[in-house]
Structure 1
Amino acid sequence: MKTHYRDFVIRSWEEGDLAFAADVIHSVLTEYGLPWEPTEADKDVLQIEECYLAVAGEFWVVEQEGQVVGTAAYYPIKRASDAVEIRKMYLLPSARRKGLGKFLLKELESAIASRGFQQIWIETASVLKQAVQLYESSGYQPASGVETARCDRVYVKHIS
């Protein structure tokens, strides 16, 4: 997968991206006072092949001028037979407020729908106000069943 939005390149993860992707996620979590949890909630970032690629998921990186400035991913989950969870959608401050988050979410939804999934779940934290606003304005409905300790919100969207 490779696409462009303004001066950003969104592409499939490559092995050399690991440290850069982890740095972006760690940086954004720290910015919002959330813990980086490499042995719990963030262990998937250190095991992209096993946690995403081997189970019919995808992990994307966002580059600007050759630097990784964001990530976005999804993988199938057991909440329903046709469900995925969007994960690790993080953008550095320099990549925010440009419509990129909305574009990324739409691209994820298109990729997910093309693979025949019907439900998209997202867990997030209230402190991530821009993310919460994006999900709610994009048709995601509040649900119950938060599974990640640092998260306090879960959303679901049914697609066709």
Structure 2
Amino acid sequence: MFYKDFVIRAWEPRDRQKAAAIIRNVLAEYGLSWEPSGADRDVLEVEASYTAVGGEFWVIEQQGQLVGTGAYYPVERGENAVEIRKMYLSPAARGQGLGKYLLQQLEKAIAQRGFQEIWIETASVLQEAVKLYESSGYQPARGVETLRCDRVYVKPVQR
């Protein structure tokens, strides 16, 4: 997939450390902790956490450099549901509509796979993410499962 001069592609094993670094750096930017043995373990174990369970993990490149990530995997809550995870963009990749485009592409991929609900957890301090999710039709829900998050949203899959 292409958006402006960005390439969105499937994660490959060679992306493991660079994708983790993007997420770790964005979390630090917002005062949130990197949890390699907790909430962020999935980034270090993409094959088991995403690929093996029917999810996908994407990376975003600009001029050959990784600048973002986005992923989803099936979850037990809700009706035939997935959770969108690890939507992070480096500062230089923000403010160009890429986040909205990425979210729309994730939603399309999820719909094509027949899922019915999308869940997203985030932290209030990630104001741009909160604004994006709310303006994209995600409704506040209950049941935050990740310690550093204080918001959870749900949206029915659009067909």
TM-score above 0.5: yes
- Structure 2 partner of 1:92: 90
Structure 2 contact 79–117 (Cα < 8 Å) conserved: no
CA distance in structure 1 between the aligned counterparts of 2:56 and 2:83, rounded to whole angstroms: 11
The correspondence for 1:53, drawn from 45, 51, 54, is 51
Gap runs ≥5 in structure 2: none
Secondary structure, in 3 states, of the residue corresponding to 1:123? strand
* Cα displacement string for residues 13-41 of structure 1 (whole angstroms, at most 9, x for unaligned residues): 00100000000000000000000000000
CA distance in structure 1 between the aligned counterparts of 2:61 and 2:70, rounded to whole angstroms: 12
- Structure 1 partner of 2:131: 133
| Pairing 1:136-155 to 2, within 5 Å after superposition | 136-155=134-153
- Structure 2 partner of 1:8: 6
- Structure 2 partner of 1:105: 103
> Are residues 1:42 and 2:31 paired?
no
Secondary structure, in 3 states, of the residue corresponding to 1:111? helix
- Structure 1 partner of 2:61: 63
* Cα displacement string for residues 52-103 of structure 1 (whole angstroms, at most 9, x for unaligned residues): 0000000000000000000000000000341000000000000000000000
Question: Which range moved further: 79-88 or 63-72?
Answer: 79-88
CA distance in structure 1 between the aligned counterparts of 2:28 and 2:83, rounded to whole angstroms: 22
Aligned residues: 158
Amino acid at match of 1:26: R
CA distance in structure 2 between the aligned counterparts of 1:81 and 1:140, rounded to whole angstroms: 15
Secondary structure, in 3 states, of the residue corresponding to 2:23? helix
TM-score (norm 1): 0.98
Structure 2 contact 57–69 (Cα < 8 Å) conserved: yes
- For the aligned residues, what is the CA RMSD? 0.6
Gap runs ≥5 in structure 1: none
TM-score (norm 2): 0.98
The correspondence for 1:21, drawn from 19, 38, 41, is 19
Amino acid at match of 1:73: A
Q: Give the ranges of 4+ consecutive aligned residues of structure 1 lying more than 4 Å apart after TM superposition.
A: none
CA distance in structure 2 between the aligned counterparts of 1:82 and 1:117, rounded to whole angstroms: 5
CA distance in structure 2 between the aligned counterparts of 1:80 and 1:145, rounded to whole angstroms: 11
CA distance in structure 1 between the aligned counterparts of 2:81 and 2:47, rounded to whole angstroms: 20
Secondary structure, in 3 states, of the residue corresponding to 1:84? strand
